[in-house]
């Protein structure tokens, strides 16, 4: 068991979530229970699953929660694209947030790979 707050991927995921919450404050009110909710839920799911995995015992459990976080990051990646295509955010905001998502996904992939390698030994 390790402190999730010490993981770089958790720190980046947490910052991404804060940024998504900030962006969604400006979305139309009629999206409050639709796209706004989906964006916030998928964003918060990333660091939350990293934290939960760190609270479990064993590498297999950690890996499983990291994989769930990866799925949530992919879902967020789509919702950010949809937000841009609906003209709720500009291209500059989209590019910035999308790069954050890609960065978090790369870190998750590396950590998942490390868990797999550790399990083989």
Low-confidence ranges of the chain (pLDDT < 70): 1, 119-121
Where in the chain are the domains? Answer: 4-120
What pLDDT is recorded for position 2? 83
What pLDDT is recorded for position 114? 92
Contact 97, 23 (CB under 8 A): yes
48 sits in which H/E element: helix 35-54
Share above pLDDT 70 across residues of the chain, in percent, rounded to a whole number: 97
What's the CATH number for 4-120? Answer: 1.20.1440.60
What pLDDT is recorded for position 27? 97
Encode pLDDT of 46-74 as tens digits: 999 999 999 998 889 999 999 999 999 99
Q: Which two tokens stand for residue 97?
A: 């947030």
Q: Report how far residue 35's alpha carbon sits from residue 111's, in angstroms, rounded to the nearest whole number.
A: 29
What pLDDT is recorded for position 108? 98
């Amino acid at each position: 068991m390790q402190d999730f707050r010490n993981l770089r991927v958790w720190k980046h995921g947490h910052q991404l979530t804060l940024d998504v919450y900030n962006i969604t404050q400006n979305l139309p009110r009629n999206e409050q229970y639709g796209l706004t909710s989906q964006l916030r839920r998928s964003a918060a799911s990333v660091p939350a699953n990293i934290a939960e995995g760190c609270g479990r015992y064993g590498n297999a459990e950690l890996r499983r929660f990291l994989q769930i976080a990866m799925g949530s990051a992919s879902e967020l990646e789509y919702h950010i694209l949809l937000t841009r295509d609906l003209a709720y955010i500009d291209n500059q905001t989209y590019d910035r947030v999308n790069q954050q998502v890609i960065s978090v996904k790369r870190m998750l992939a590396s950590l998942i790979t490390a868990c797999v390698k550790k399990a083989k030994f």
